[in-house]
Amino acid sequence: MKIQKQILKDFHHYKGSNLTRFEKVERKVIELILSSKIPDSQREDSIVFEFKHASGCTQIARILAQKRKLNTEIADNATTLHDIYVIINGTYKDHAKLGAPIAKKLLEEIGGFSNKEITIITNAVAHHSEKEIYSNNPYVELVKDVDVFDCSLYKGAEGFYRIHKPEYIFKEYVNRIKKVREELGLSPNDIFRI
Ligand SMILES: [Fe+2]
């Protein structure tokens, strides 16, 4: 098959000014991570983990959004921004609620987002820690699911959850991870044995 090169758009690899508003958000979050002045000694998690978690969650969100027939770019940005407070401040206390206004400001600064889009994204950021609540908001639920699923792919996730989360919350994490694994055609058993 002959490819018509003139109609193909080259990939920017996140360089230059030819990025969509959603890609600008992704780039901004990664730039904030790379330029952070808060050392790991003053962070609850390392900046390397924040980089890996933000990037991993973004890609998983794009996959899961396709499975769930949601807007991939909205899902991408909601997930990219979900831990924005932690990225900037290094601490997790109330990070979901505190992150929502930061996400809103960032979206407004980048520009081009409708009020509805900003509301969907910031709402998902604000409520992503409520893993034990099952809402009927598909983007809120997607961010919760992506958050726990990405973490489950790291060795040590089970120990961390069992040590730091109450039993009833741990069970909800397991439920969510199993559900995502089933959606992706992965075995729902031995979820932490990767
Ligand atoms: Fe997270």
pLDDT digits (tens, 9 = 90+) for 56-98: 999 999 999 999 999 999 999 999 999 999 999 999 999 999 9
The tens digit of pLDDT for each residue in 162-193 reads 899 999 999 999 999 999 999 999 998 878 86
Measured CA to CA, the distance from residue 168 to residue 179 in angstroms comes to 17
Interval between CA 3 and ligand 1 midpoint (Å): 41
Interval between CA 147 and ligand 1 midpoint (Å): 5
Interval between CA 27 and ligand 1 midpoint (Å): 18
pLDDT given for residue 191 in this prediction: 85
**Is the confidence at residue 5, as pLDDT, over 70?**
no
The secondary structure of residue 9, as a DSSP letter, is P
* Helix or strand holding residue 162 (H, E): helix 157-164
Q: Is the Cβ–Cβ distance between 74 and 117 less than 8 Å?
A: yes
Q: Is the Cβ–Cβ distance between 142 and 67 less than 8 Å?
A: no
Interval between CA 6 and ligand 1 midpoint (Å): 41
The contacts of residue 132 (CB under 8 Å, 6+ apart) are: 168, 169, 172
Measured CA to CA, the distance from residue 89 to residue 100 in angstroms comes to 14
Total domain count, the chain: 1
Confidence of residue 49 (pLDDT cuts 50, 70, 90): very high
16 in any annotated domain:
no
Residue 56 in tokens: 């991993």
70 in any annotated domain:
yes
Residue 153 in tokens: 């792919």
**Is the confidence at residue 6, as pLDDT, over 90?**
no
Interval between CA 78 and ligand 1 midpoint (Å): 11
**Owning domain of residue 39:** 21-183
Interval between CA 13 and ligand 1 midpoint (Å): 24
Residue 156 in tokens: 């040590």
Query: What is the CATH classification number for the domain harbouring 108?
Result: 1.10.3210.10
Interval between CA 46 and ligand 1 midpoint (Å): 13
171 in any annotated domain:
yes
157 in any annotated domain:
yes
191 in any annotated domain:
no
Interval between CA 1 and ligand 1 midpoint (Å): 43
2 in any annotated domain:
no
Interval between CA 9 and ligand 1 midpoint (Å): 33
6 in any annotated domain:
no
Grouping H, G, I as helix, E, B as strand and the rest as coil, residue 74 is helix
Interval between CA 83 and ligand 1 midpoint (Å): 5
Q: Please give the average per-residue pLDDT across 1-23, as a whole number.
A: 85
Interval between CA 150 and ligand 1 midpoint (Å): 8
pLDDT given for residue 194 in this prediction: 61
Q: Please give the average per-residue pLDDT across 100-123, as a whole number.
A: 98
Could you tell me which residue, 6 or 84, shows the higher pLDDT? 84
**Stated pTM of the model:** 0.94
